[in-house]
Every structure is written in C-alpha cells, then in structure tokens.
Amino acid sequence: MRPFNYEAPTDLATAVARASVSANAHVNSPIQYKGGGTTLIDLMKLDVMRPEVLVDITGLRDEAMHRIDHSAGELRIGSLVSMAALHEDESTVRDYPLLTESLWQGASQQLRNMARLGGNVLQRTRCSYFRDPSFEQCNKRVPGSGCAALDGANRGHAILGTSEHCIALYAGDWAPALIALDARVEVLGRSGLRTLEFKDLHRLPGTTPHIETNLVPGELITAIIVPGGPKRRSLYRKIRDRQSYQFANASAAVALELDGDVVRDVRIGLGGVATIPWRAHKAEQALRSQRLDEASATAAADAEFMDATTRKGNLYKVSLGKATLVRSLLEAKAMEVA
Ligand code: SF4
C-alpha cells in the first residue's frame, strides 16, 4: 500500500471543505472519504486506488449521520449507520423488510459490522480486470485504455446498461431494494445540501465508465431517505453460486400492491445483471393493471431483458435473470400482507 495522509475531522463542514479541495470524480481522486473502509482499503492494498489523503468521517459529530429516524412518516438513515445496525433495527425490520432482507443477503456479519450505508451504495465493481493493475486494459481504472472483459472472462459481468467501453457489474444487494422503494439520497457539498432520487445517483458507463455517480467531486452522502407508504408484499431474492457470502448472479427486489389478483402497483429493482442498480421499468409497465400469474410475469421479464447485451460468458444471465424475476413476483403474490 502506498503512503497517504490520514485526517479525521469531527466537524462535517470541515470534512466536506477538505475533500472538495482537489477531489475529482475519477476512481483515483487524490482525496477520498473513508467510512467503514471495506471497499476502499481493499482497493488501496491492491494498488487500484491510490489516494494521497484519506478523510475519515466515522468520527464526525453530526448526530443525524449516525441515526435511524422513523419519526416523519418515512425512514431517514444517516449515512454512517452500519449495515448491522439497520439490519437489527426492529422498526425497519417491521416496516421495510425489503431493506433488511437485502442487507442480510449482502454481506457477512463481519462486513455488516464495519460497512456504513453511505459507502455501501458506492461500492465498486468486482470486475477482476479493474481490481488487478497488472491488466493494462480497463477504461474504468485507466480511461481510454480499453476493456479486457469484453472478450475476456465475463461470466460475472452485466448484460443490462452496458456499453462498448465497460460491462462491469454493480454488485451490491441493498441498492436494488432502495431503487424499488423510490429512495432519495441527501448529499452535502461545497454548494450546500441537495437531495437526489436514488435512481439518479449512479451513472451508466457510456463513454466514461470511470465516472460512476452524479455526485459533484467532494460531495458526501449524509442520509438515505425511504418514503413510507402502503403495506406492500415485498421480498428480495438472490441467486448466487453458493449460498454463503457471495455476489449475485441475478437478484430481484419486488414491492407489490394487488387488488385481488390484479397488479395495482409494482416496483422492481434488479441486481447481478446490470451496470447500475437497475429499476425494471419495462417489466413494471407490462404488469400494471394485469392479472399476476406465470404468463404475465414471464411476459414482463421478457420485456425487461429484451435489450440485454450478452458476451460469451454471461449469456446464461438472460434466462437466469428472467427466472429470478418471475419467481420473485409469484412468491411476492403468495405473501400475506402484514
Ligand atoms: Fe474495466 Fe469495466 Fe472493462 Fe471491467 S468491464 S475491464 S471495469 S472497463
């Protein structure tokens, strides 16, 4: 690991001002925030990320960033809350089971204890070419260098939202649940506080896969807000190579409202198949006002994956992604509403 300066401000404004000085949106921005560090420190050890300054934000004395708040008819999660703390929060388990279920399936207990939720949504891809600097071709790590995964080992790569410049998978489990629940993100930067829809946080790779989010350089996520709403049937289903801690080959987060057998509303987030947390708008559109059964669920899955772009190793994700979605929808339908 390369030498770096370590700073641990206790004041939020000071931290943001410090990180805004020369930060940029590239993976190797010279100033990086450090929360739990579960992604960042790994990538520093691998020499993929080479920050000159780490701004440790875990000791910030901003109480709201450490708190889970259910008081305003919605759920406000401070970005420094750990995965474990939210997973064990009884009110969240009762009212937002999709969130806690996806957290449970998203990491080992040790990681849940360390990782903070603001960092969780910004976790980096597991693409092996990105994580190994001995490979010269990686547009995400070295812009303009090419993409070794296009014709390389791409079994774990994305089939939705890809470009000719990058097919790296967004590997997280919690973000598909957030996107299905219409979450928002509160961020603080040099220009002050702003809120953006969670669906607008991540950027498709396009021609600039090294710029992964719509955050302005130096902006810090301070909270994630999940609207309240009607009781829904909801679940998170994750298919992976082994049942213990492993990234998804395909996953689906479903929040469903029914009138009898007919879909009044449905929100679907997909994981394991796309370059960003994926809102399945086409499937949702196909299902609204339809009777939910195997045929309509299959038609919705077909619509969502119609534009999938596959490579030699990840062709299987089309059928797996569809099957995961169909099964999740039918299982959600069969649930009792609490
Ligand atoms: Fe790099 Fe993206 Fe290609 Fe992986 S898929 S090698 S992250 S450019």
pLDDT of residue 297: 98
pLDDT of residue 23: 57
Give the start-to-end residue ranges of the domains of the chain.
233-334
Rounded average pLDDT over 205-231? 92
Residues 121, 201 contacting (CB under 8 angstroms): yes
Q: Which residue has the higher pLDDT, 197 or 246?
A: 197
Question: If we measure between CA atoms, which residue out of 105, 296, 276, 252 comes closest to residue 203?
Answer: 276
pLDDT of residue 164: 97
pLDDT at 161 over 60: yes
Please give the model's pTM, rounded to 2 decimal places.
0.94
Distance 29 CA to ligand 1 centre (A): 18
CA dist 196 and 85 (Å) reads 24
- Strand duo 31-34 + 53-56: pairing: parallel
pLDDT of residue 244: 77
Asked if residue 125 has its Cβ within 6 Å of ligand 1, the reply is yes
Q: What angle do CA 119, 120, 126 make, to 5 degrees?
A: 110
Asked if residue 147 has its Cβ within 6 Å of ligand 1, the reply is yes
The ligand 1 atom nearest the CA atom of 141: 1
pLDDT at 25 over 60: no
The CB-side HSE value for 250 (13 A sphere, CA atoms) comes to 19
Rounded average pLDDT over 173-185? 97
Residues 169, 274 contacting (CB under 8 angstroms): yes
pLDDT in tens, 57-74: 999 999 999 999 999 889
pLDDT of residue 93: 94
Asked if residue 209 has its Cβ within 6 Å of ligand 1, the reply is yes
Question: If we measure between CA atoms, which residue out of 252, 176, 221, 233 comes closest to residue 76?
Answer: 221
The CB-side HSE value for 56 (13 A sphere, CA atoms) comes to 11
pLDDT at 312 over 60: yes
Asked if residue 129 has its Cβ within 6 Å of ligand 1, the reply is yes
CA dist 332 and 177 (Å) reads 14
Distance 45 CA to ligand 1 centre (A): 19
Asked if residue 140 has its Cβ within 6 Å of ligand 1, the reply is yes
pLDDT of residue 338: 61
The ligand 1 atom nearest the CA atom of 127: 4
pLDDT of residue 182: 96
Lowest mean per-residue pLDDT among 83-87, 167-171, 191-195, 245-249? 245-249
Alpha-carbon dihedral 287, 293, 296, 302, rounded to 10 degrees: 100
Q: Of all residues in the chain, what percent carry a pLDDT higher than 90? A: 86
pLDDT band at residue 138 using 50, 70 and 90 as cut-offs = very high
pLDDT of residue 249: 94
pLDDT at 243 over 90: no
pLDDT at 26 over 70: no
Residues 6+ apart with CB under 8 A from 287: 263, 266, 296, 297, 300, 329
The fold for domain 233-334 equals: Enolase-like; domain 1 (3.30.390)
Distance 138 CA to ligand 1 centre (A): 5
Rounded average pLDDT over 14-23? 83
pLDDT at 124 over 80: yes
pLDDT of residue 211: 93
pLDDT of residue 53: 93
